[in-house]
Amino acid sequence: MPNKSNQHQGHSTNRKPAYNKNQVQKGDTLIYALGGLGEVGKNMYCYEYENEICIVDCGVLFPGDELLGVDYVIPDYHHLIRMNKKRKFLVITHGHEDHIGGIPFLLKQVQIDAIYAPRFAKALILKKLSEHKGLEKTPIIEIDENSSIKTRYFTVGFFNTIHSIPDSLGVLITTPNGSIVHTGDFKFDLTPVGTNADYQKMAYIGVMQPDLLMADSTNAGVEEFSISEKDVASEILEIMRNAKHRMIIATFASNVYRVNQIIEAALRCGRKIAVFGRSMENVVDIARKMGVIKIKNSQILSPEELSRTPDNEVCIICTGSQGEPLAALSRIASGTHRYIHLKPSDTVVFSSSPIPGNASSINKIIDKLFRSGATVLSKSVLNNLHTTGHASREEQKLMLQLIRPRYFMPIHGEYKMLMQHRQTAIDTGMPPENIFVCANGDILILRDHEIIQSDWRYQGDDIYVDGNDISGLSTAVLKDRRILADNGLVAVIIAIDSKENKILSRPIIVSRGFVFIKDSQALIKEAEFIVGASLQEKMKEKTTFSEIKNCIRSTLEPFLYKKTHRNPIVIPVILNSKQTMEEITKKRAAHDRSKKPYRRKENKDNKNKEAQ
Ligand SMILES: [Zn+2]
Ligand SMILES: [Zn+2]
């Protein structure tokens, strides 16, 4: 229960420390995000009261090009790990990766009592967890708009929202200090293709005056009411009818309703379906099992059947609408797809719009498609080939008007989007001081129906996931990858006799991604000579391996920079064996004669090798 009376000192004397309203007190409900604020991705919002934490969503963020080799970005779960004594349950709003993608990583580190997820999301989570061993123990409980989760301190209820994937829920969280509405991802569409939004329920929640609304900000910068998914459906049907030959349609696999629309349109035009791309195959598979996509086995073409089917009876649905280099469409465009070879009679449709940052890779693919002679159609102001799954400004106003909260916190968006959403709320009459634009880790205190920004915050950092390693790729590794990408690598191999403190042969330099060796023989020879000379000098007195390495680096780095204006990573490899060095010298001589690319063979048995 809220308990502030005994600590509250309205007229504090000078001797006693002043009552600090912004300090977290026992009995407060804490509201904070570990991901999702200042970014579109890795959504994770926490509601904490006493020994219970209700977590809403657990997503990943897909990294940009600057994070070389990083597969996902996830929130730093350390706060939750530290809170391991508290009871934690996870509520999922819908099955998109930015809301469920982090679950395997979370479960590996944090004790979660139960996961509550709507039907479609549950199927996707189960599929995801089946790929990781030992994570099946956590119960996943199916919820819908009529469910209610009751714990000691929380009551969680739901309402249907419209989004691009079936079973998307908004959440109403009641805590001893007041209630919070969390919209999840939503839009309003008055002619929706799937489940309708629970307008009445939202209005009813509004009548009860919830304390805080947390709402999706993704499209806070978009003015008009978004296009209805129904309009997209009729546009696709029209194109499908008019196309005389083969149809190839690329869209987001995550947009399950769209995939379904495309399939329905194709079937109506007497076409059969071929599905390409792992995520697309996955989603179609799950959506068929759930009854969201209704298609008979006989209407699906295997890759082999594809070539035997007349072109005007074929519709190919594939991934790659964002120009992803490994996706099906990219391989089709490059002519490297195993089953699909473009024909000038093909019609290729992008039922998507470019995510900012992907435009240039998409344009490259469109260019290749045009070169093949195919007809290419993509989203423009002239057509309705795509619509968003997120509320525009007008729809955000409608949500604010339905829920009528006392306080507002824009979520799910980059800082600009959060600020635009803030302005939208002000336009609807919300007092600016009642709006909180927060960062990951910031804590809001809900205390007796009042929201206060805490002066304390939790860690809200990013963790980079490299493959399945969740220990968090260090920034040092990324820094190295960036240097490697920009400047390349130079390895200096020397052989010494450490007992005698002698160099056994002159240094050999090999490089990757630095200079074209064949054209830079003189540079490499000179570098080898300089390193050799300074090592001779160094070895006149007793020295250590690390001193030798430092000597190599401090000689070579300035020399290479002076000659090439590049700072490659210099890796000294010291061999404490004359024999190995001789082998390398021999191989290199043989290579020089054959003029083949030089590759040093890895010698795993070489115990004397000391590399770093
Ligand atoms: Zn979503
Ligand atoms: Zn989302």
Residue 164 Cα to ligand 1 midpoint, Å, equals 7
Residue 93 Cα to ligand 1 midpoint, Å, equals 9
Q: How many CA atoms lie within 13 A of 230 on its CB side?
A: 11
Q: What is the C-alpha R_g of the chain?
A: 30
DSSP secondary structure letters along 536-586 = HHHTTS---HHHHHHHHHHHHHHHHHHHHS--PEEEEEEES-HHHHHHHHH
Q: CA-CA distance, 494 to 581, in Å (whole number)?
A: 7
**Other beta carbons within 10 Å of 333:** 27
Q: CA-CA distance, 320 to 506, in Å (whole number)?
A: 51
- Cα 84 from chain centroid? 26
Residue 113 Cα to ligand 2 midpoint, Å, equals 24
Could you tell me which of 318, 325, 283, 282 has the C-alpha nearest to residue 303?
318
Q: CA-CA distance, 317 to 299, in Å (whole number)?
A: 13
Residue 136 Cα to ligand 1 midpoint, Å, equals 24
Residue 362 Cα to ligand 1 midpoint, Å, equals 22
The helix, strand and coil proportions of the chain, stated in percent and rounded to the nearest 5, come to 35, 25, 45
Q: Give the list of residues 6+ apart from residue 569 with CB closer than 8 angstroms, or none.
A: 480, 483, 484, 487, 488, 489, 490
**Other beta carbons within 10 Å of 308:** 8
- Tell me the C-alpha to C-alpha distance, in Å, between residue 451 and each of 345, 392, 436, 447, 473: 61, 26, 9, 6, 36
Q: CA-CA distance, 534 to 554, in Å (whole number)?
A: 10
Residue 349 Cα to ligand 2 midpoint, Å, equals 25
User: Cα angle at 7 between 3 and 8, to 5 degrees?
Assistant: 95
Residue 41 Cα to ligand 1 midpoint, Å, equals 9
Q: Which domains, and CATH codes, for the chain?
A: 27-224+389-465 (3.60.15.10), 229-378 (3.40.50.10710), 488-600 (3.10.20.580)
Residue 99 Cα to ligand 1 midpoint, Å, equals 7
- Tell me the C-alpha to C-alpha distance, in Å, between residue 188 and each of 258, 326, 387, 523: 16, 34, 12, 65
Residue 165 Cα to ligand 2 midpoint, Å, equals 11
Residue 57 Cα to ligand 2 midpoint, Å, equals 9
CB-based burial, 309-322: b 16+ in 10 Å, e otherwise:
eeeeebbbbbbbbb
Quick check: 530 and 573 in contact, CB under 8 A? no
pLDDT in the model for residue 380: 75
Taken as a whole, the chain contains a residue count of 612
Reduced to 3 states (helix: H, G, I; strand: E, B; else coil), residue 187 is strand
SS (H, E, C) 201-258: HHHHHHHCCCCEEEEECCCCCCCCCCCCHHHHHHHHHHHHHHCCCCEEEECCCCCHHH
Q: Give the list of residues 6+ apart from residue 345 with CB closer than 8 angstroms, or none.
A: 244, 245, 246, 311, 374
Ligand at minimal distance from the CA of 95 is 1
DSSP secondary structure letters along 463-511 = EEEBTTB-S---HHHHHHHHHHHHH-EEEEEEEEETTTTEE-S--EEEE
Ligand at minimal distance from the CA of 186 is 1
Quick check: 373 and 344 in contact, CB under 8 A? yes
pLDDT in the model for residue 17: 64
Q: CA-CA distance, 2 to 28, in Å (whole number)?
A: 6
Q: CA-CA distance, 151 to 144, in Å (whole number)?
A: 17
Reduced to 3 states (helix: H, G, I; strand: E, B; else coil), residue 72 is strand
Q: Is 216 in the active site?
A: yes
Residue 125 Cα to ligand 1 midpoint, Å, equals 14
Could you tell me which of 460, 470, 445 has the C-alpha nearest to residue 79?
460
pLDDT in the model for residue 13: 47
Q: Per DSSP, what are the bridge partners of residue 413?
A: 37, 39
Ligand at minimal distance from the CA of 36 is 2
pLDDT in the model for residue 469: 63
Ligand at minimal distance from the CA of 121 is 1
Q: Per DSSP, what are the bridge partners of residue 467?
A: none
Residue 168 Cα to ligand 1 midpoint, Å, equals 8
Point out the catalytic residue in the list 28, 57, 216, 462: 216
Q: CA-CA distance, 364 to 611, in Å (whole number)?
A: 41
Reduced to 3 states (helix: H, G, I; strand: E, B; else coil), residue 155 is strand
Q: CA-CA distance, 220 to 168, in Å (whole number)?
A: 20
Reduced to 3 states (helix: H, G, I; strand: E, B; else coil), residue 19 is coil
Q: Is 341 in the active site?
A: no
Quick check: 218 and 40 in contact, CB under 8 A? yes
Ligand at minimal distance from the CA of 42 is 2
Residue 167 Cα to ligand 1 midpoint, Å, equals 11
Q: Give the list of residues 6+ apart from residue 597 with CB closer than 8 angstroms, or none.
A: 591
Q: Give the list of residues 6+ apart from residue 507 with CB closer than 8 angstroms, or none.
A: 492, 493, 494, 528, 531, 532, 535, 552
pLDDT in the model for residue 611: 31
Could you tell me which of 610, 523, 464, 586 has the C-alpha nearest to residue 64?
464
Give the sheet arrangement for strand 155-161, strand by strand.
148-150, 155-161, 168-175, 178-182, 212-216, 407-411
Quick check: 492 and 611 in contact, CB under 8 A? no
pLDDT in the model for residue 354: 80
pLDDT along the chain (612 residues), means of 10: 44 62 94 96 97 97 76 91 95 96 94 97 95 88 97 98 96 98 96 93 97 97 91 92 94 93 95 95 95 95 94 95 89 93 94 81 92 90 82 96 97 96 97 97 97 93 75 66 80 83 83 78 88 86 85 90 86 78 75 55 36 31
Residue 459 Cα to ligand 2 midpoint, Å, equals 22
Residue with tokens 């799910």: 412
Neighbours of ion ligand 2 (CB under 5 A): 98, 185
Quick check: 168 and 94 in contact, CB under 8 A? yes
pLDDT in the model for residue 14: 54
pLDDT in the model for residue 244: 92
Point out the catalytic residue in the list 390, 412, 462, 466: 390
Residue 573 Cα to ligand 1 midpoint, Å, equals 50
Residue 125 Cα to ligand 2 midpoint, Å, equals 15
- Tell me the C-alpha to C-alpha distance, in Å, between residue 572 and each of 504, 511, 513, 536: 15, 12, 17, 15
Residue 294 Cα to ligand 2 midpoint, Å, equals 26
- Tell me the C-alpha to C-alpha distance, in Å, between residue 227 and each of 222, 223, 224, 388, 397: 12, 12, 9, 8, 16
